[in-house]
Amino acid sequence: MKRLRIGIVGGTGYTGVELLRLLARHPHAELVAITSRKEAGMPVADLFPSLRGQIDLAFSTPDDAPLHTCDLVFFATPHGVAMAQARRLVDAGVRLIDLAADFRLQNLAEFTQWYGMEHACPELLQESVYGLPELRREAIAKARIVANPGCYPTTVQLGFAPLLRTPGLIEADHLVANCVSGVSGAGRKAEIGLLFSEASDNYKAYGVKGHRHGPEINEQLRRIAGVAPGGGAVDCLFVPHLAPMIRGMHSTLYARLTPTGQTADLQSLYAEFYAREAFVDVLPAGSVPETRSVRGANTLRLAIHRPRADTAMILVVQDNLTKGASGQAVQNMNVMFGLPETTGLDSLAVLP
């Protein structure tokens, strides 16, 4: 097949440079535009020396970039940017993957509440597809607009999905997700709480009163369980934490088992559910996954435990910038254009 013409809007952040790293080695991707208003004219390799000899483009402004000629445009931008440009690009026949939240929440009131803005194109929101390939593969393949999932929600959904897809195993209205991210999850920005002297040798919860990933998690868990929008039969208490590491994510998930669930073979359930998934690794019983085992790889690893007879505990790790963001976006691209899903994503985790 011909190489896909790819544009990236907002290529100067952590998800942007991770996209560049992955796409530079993708055999079917041709990068034709990388935008940044602030860095317009600067060679990409000058800002990111790790890409010397791999990316020859310079940053351009969104107005000057030939985005309308692309097959696909990634938005690695703050919330609100993709929806402002989506109509023009979609009308030009360009397909979109948004790594921000513009197309994740179907509930407009919740979007406005959590992101502080009105949605610019609700008609396109209705046709957008939530891009978790392991659960939405067929819809993603046909989509014009894909909403790349949040990093935390990816771990929570893939961690709970086998239990929710098998009726009668858990009390789905009492789910708990205790999740931890490295500081790169906050983006490439100057902020006091992200300074080395503030984040190092420290560990803290944040968003305890409510976090914007909470409604995304619950909306999608209800979809996985087959509950109608607005239904309340599935509910997850989500609390994020910041750990003193650059990249990585660890989620500890809890579900209360029903009498039926207490007799189920959960290890076999998970192993069979993900048996054909290239990027979900179900570890042997009793394992404890580590964040460093997925650093730089598009792999999510999980382990199932039963600390009490009535409780399932799922431990999930991923790289928040790869499977939690840009790697998953490339995985979605592969699905959208009929490529093998692993194309360009076969990098192993980096140790130590």
Q: Does residue 235 lie in a domain region?
A: yes
* Residue in 263, 267, 219, 212 with CA at minimum distance from that of residue 240: 212
Query: Rounded to whole angstroms, how far apart are CA atoms 333 and 66?
Result: 19
> Do 298 and 172 belong together in one domain?
yes
* Residue in 251, 213, 248, 220 with CA at minimum distance from that of residue 234: 220
Chain centre to alpha carbon of residue 247 = 14
Q: What is the CATH number of the domain that holds 216?
A: 3.30.360.10
- Point out which residues pair with 98 in neighbouring strands: 75, 147
Q: Does residue 335 lie in a domain region?
A: no
Q: What pLDDT, in 10s, does the model give residues 74-103?
A: 999 999 999 999 999 999 999 999 999 999
> Do 170 and 87 belong together in one domain?
no
From 112, 127, 142, the end of a domain falls on: 127
Q: What pLDDT, in 10s, does the model give residues 238-254?
A: 999 999 999 999 999 99
Q: What pLDDT, in 10s, does the model give residues 39-52?
A: 999 999 999 999 99
Q: Does residue 135 lie in a domain region?
A: no
What confidence score (pLDDT) does residue 188 get? 83
> Do 246 and 118 belong together in one domain?
no
What confidence score (pLDDT) does residue 122 get? 96
| Residue 229 pLDDT greater than 90, yes or no | no
Calculate mean pLDDT across residues 221-232.
81
| Residue 231 pLDDT greater than 90, yes or no | no
Contact criterion met (CB below 8 Å) for 244 and 203: yes
Q: Does residue 342 lie in a domain region?
A: no
> Do 195 and 305 belong together in one domain?
yes
3-state secondary structure of 343: coil
Q: Does residue 330 lie in a domain region?
A: no
> Do 163 and 308 belong together in one domain?
yes
Q: What pLDDT, in 10s, does the model give residues 315-325?
A: 999 999 999 99
Query: Rounded to whole angstroms, how far apart are CA atoms 35 and 32?
Result: 10
- Point out which residues pair with 29 in neighbouring strands: 4
What confidence score (pLDDT) does residue 232 get? 66
Cβ burial of 196 (10 Å; 0-12, 13-18, 19+) is exposed
3-state secondary structure of 249: strand
Calculate mean pLDDT across residues 146-169.
97
Q: What pLDDT, in 10s, does the model give residues 9-32?
A: 998 999 999 999 999 999 999 999
Query: Rounded to whole angstroms, how far apart are CA atoms 215 and 235?
Result: 10
The band of 186, judged by pLDDT with boundaries at 50, 70 and 90, is confident
User: How many domains, in total, are found in the chain?
Assistant: 2
* Mean pLDDT of the chain, nearest integer: 95
Where do the H-state alpha helices sit in the chain?
14-23, 44-47, 81-91, 108-115, 122-127, 133-142, 151-165, 196-199, 213-225, 259-262, 266-273, 327-336
Q: What pLDDT, in 10s, does the model give residues 106-149?
A: 999 999 999 999 999 999 999 999 999 999 999 999 999 999 99
> Do 157 and 113 belong together in one domain?
no
Q: Does residue 116 lie in a domain region?
A: yes
Distance between first and last Cα of the chain? 38
Q: Does residue 280 lie in a domain region?
A: yes
> Do 54 and 159 belong together in one domain?
no
> Do 183 and 297 belong together in one domain?
yes
From 127, 142, 175, the end of a domain falls on: 127
What confidence score (pLDDT) does residue 303 get? 98
What confidence score (pLDDT) does residue 347 get? 92
> Do 101 and 199 belong together in one domain?
no
Which residues are part of the catalytic machinery? 151
In terms of residue numbers, what domain contains 91? 4-127
The band of 236, judged by pLDDT with boundaries at 50, 70 and 90, is very high
> Do 194 and 73 belong together in one domain?
no
> Do 74 and 202 belong together in one domain?
no
Q: What is the CATH number of the domain that holds 81?
A: 3.40.50.720
Q: Does residue 333 lie in a domain region?
A: no
What confidence score (pLDDT) does residue 192 get? 83
The band of 230, judged by pLDDT with boundaries at 50, 70 and 90, is low
What confidence score (pLDDT) does residue 190 get? 75
> Do 123 and 203 belong together in one domain?
no
| Residue 228 pLDDT greater than 80, yes or no | no
DSSP symbols for 277-317: -TTEEEPPTT----GGGGTTSS-EEEEEEEEETTEEEEEEE
Calculate mean pLDDT across residues 290-309.
98
